[in-house]
Chain A
């Protein structure tokens, strides 16, 4: 375990020295600044000739917040993929791994150390950015989603899932190939999730099954839907049901089942274990 902590510390130092953290913080500050500006101007918006009602402002705020969180979840997923893709592959490609791995250490501890550091960074970043965004919306419009903390936690979990998958790829693929693979799979899972939702609207079992299978193979979209559920207030769900747009990837009416949570946890542990096994077996 001490090896894992040493490597975790080293990974954090690398992120800091390579100015990854600084770049992320600057860009995030710009995004949050723009969000604050937008949400602050929402109460002054006019609906037709009259000022918007409180209900209308809350509805707009809830939809915008979901869209913002989706954008953040996308950024976090991309960030996770591109942080994890070179984590192992980069060290192998550069030759750094050749000096570290002959030490009396287990490769799985090296992998675990990298995972701990990157998962920690992704989680902390999501909590901070999600928290600030929720605070901005609340202060600017008075609107609070049903379960903001849970929603942020699901977005963080989504990032950690993709991070773990990219780490598995990183034990076998080059950094660029691995990053591309993770992002493509993330996009495919999201698209198939949308297809599944469409299947539900049109009551087409085959298309619905595609969504279910995708959410099992890569649970990122399933976790986004969990986050979206906790961001969807009842008045928004009611409106969506009235106009027939329920089942879309942004307004989600039902939380994931307990079985899905168990599956997501099993998936995470299994992929991490597979990454460790793959790294242990890798010839350098």
Chain B
């Protein structure tokens, strides 16, 4: 189920102050998308560590069955958001629901899987024993555990190393094990915090296949990442967060598609030419090539005409869409008081 019709706007109020505005037990605002509800919903979620604000009013909705990319630079609050959702930490203010149940509910956690960013498993246990431990903690029926463990080892490519101690594993293999731990018990929502950080290209491809497999069986995947190319390949929708709040949210097409870019190969760029370029959007120079982002597609002929009028020689013009990376950089380099964008 896609939830692009859900109210997903993010507040850009400078200092979120939501404590007491609503209570956790208040009736949930029902999503418009259907009876199934949302996998994840947050409303003005705030987390402060002393004087440091890690999350400054996070509001978003993730529909069930979505692969949702949660993007942001280091320190944007991505991991804090996940830790709040999986119950590792408590919000300072605001509300959130996981599978329509307020976060912090122990029983609901039976339905989630989680790969932490700083993954570490008992290095004195074998991979099989780590999975067995998590089967026991996740309350998976004892009769199902052996099959579940072998199937998981197979899925994450560790079938041949199941009997080896974790201490002998490379970082990439430990990450594969962590992924396996997150997949145990067919969770409905899987949180993957930087799941490919330690993986080689083959491992990354495997993770993409696993994520697609999860989506195929209807699970929701919350993918926390700063590897934009990974997100671009697997995610249905993305949220871009910066300084603890959402700065863009929507489908990939919605987030990227709004703006376009044009690459122009030119020589003889003078002051008038510079002025012309900057009047159309953000400008990036790469040798003879200049990329202008954030301009309207219809404006490309006018831009070329203005450059020619300024005496600049044009050798090539390549209109193109922004990549997620372009869009990401564009959003994060805006002034602090820029308007928050809701593209859904």
Contacts and interface: CB of A to CB of B under 8 A. Distances in A.
B112 interface: yes
Contact of B89 (A2, A96, A284): A284
Interface string B164-192: 00000000000000100100000000000
A107 to B, nearest CB: 10
A279 to B, nearest CB: 12
A99 B106 contact: no
A18 interface: yes
Contact of A103 (B115, B119, B138): B138
Interface in A72-122: 94-96, 98-106
Interface string B97-116: 00000000011111010111
B329 interface: no
Count class of interface residues, chain A: 20 to 34
Given A6-B137, A14-B122, A98 B116 contact: yes
Interface in B271-290: none
A248 interface: no
A2 to B, nearest CB: 8
Contacts of B138: 103-104
Given A95-B118, A96-B121, A99-B116, A105 B88 contact: no
A17 interface: yes
Interface in A21-41: none
B122 A96 contact: yes
Contact of B109 (A17, A103, A281): A103
B83 interface: yes
B136 A99 contact: no
Interface in B119-133: 119-122, 124-125, 133
B87 interface: yes
A5 B119 CA distance: 24
A99 B109 contact: no
Contacts of A283: 49, 88-90
A17 B107 CA distance: 32
Interface residues of B, number: 31
Q: Residue among B87, B114, B136 with the most chain A CB within 10 A? A: B136
B139 interface: yes
Contacts of B139: 104
Nearest to B116: A98
A265 interface: no
A284 B137 contact: no
A102 B86 contact: yes
A104 B119 contact: no
B109 A104 contact: yes
Given A95-B116, A106-B106, A284-B83, A100 B124 contact: no
Contacts of A102: 86-88, 109, 112, 114
A10 interface: yes
Interface string B70-98: 00000000000001001111100000000
B124 A18 contact: yes
B106 A105 contact: yes
Nearest to B191: A102
Contacts of B83: 284
B134 interface: yes
A3 interface: yes
A269 B335 CA distance: 55
Q: Residue among B86, B137, B138 with the most chain A CB within 10 A? A: B137
Contacts of B133: 6, 10, 100
Contacts of B112: 102
B122 A104 contact: no
Interface string A270-284: 000000000001011
Contact of B118 (A13, A17, A98, A101): A98
A96 B137 contact: no
Contacts of B110: 104
Contacts of B106: 104-106
Given A3-B137, A17-B124, A103-B109, A98 B119 contact: yes
Given A96-B121, A284-B83, A6 B136 contact: yes
B134 A101 contact: no
B120 A103 contact: no
Contact of A99 (B108, B121, B124): B121
B181 A99 contact: yes
B119 A99 contact: yes
A17 B90 CA distance: 34
Nearest to A105: B137
Contacts of A104: 106-110, 137-139
Nearest to B134: A103
A94 B120 contact: yes
A100 B137 contact: yes
A284 B116 CA distance: 12
16 contacts: A13-B124, A13-B125, A14-B122, A14-B124, A18-B124, A95-B116, A95-B118, A99-B134, A100-B137, A102-B86, A102-B109, A104-B108, A104-B137, A105-B106, A283-B90, A284-B89
Given A99-B120, A99-B134, 10 more contacts: A2-B136, A14-B122, A14-B124, A95-B120, A98-B88, A98-B119, A104-B106, A106-B106, A284-B83, A284-B88
Interface of A: 2-3, 6, 10, 13-14, 17-18, 94-96, 98-106, 281, 283-284
Would you list the 10 A-B pairs with minimal beta carbon distance, nearest first? A95-B120, A98-B116, A103-B137, A102-B86, A17-B124, A283-B89, A104-B110, A104-B109, A284-B88, A95-B118
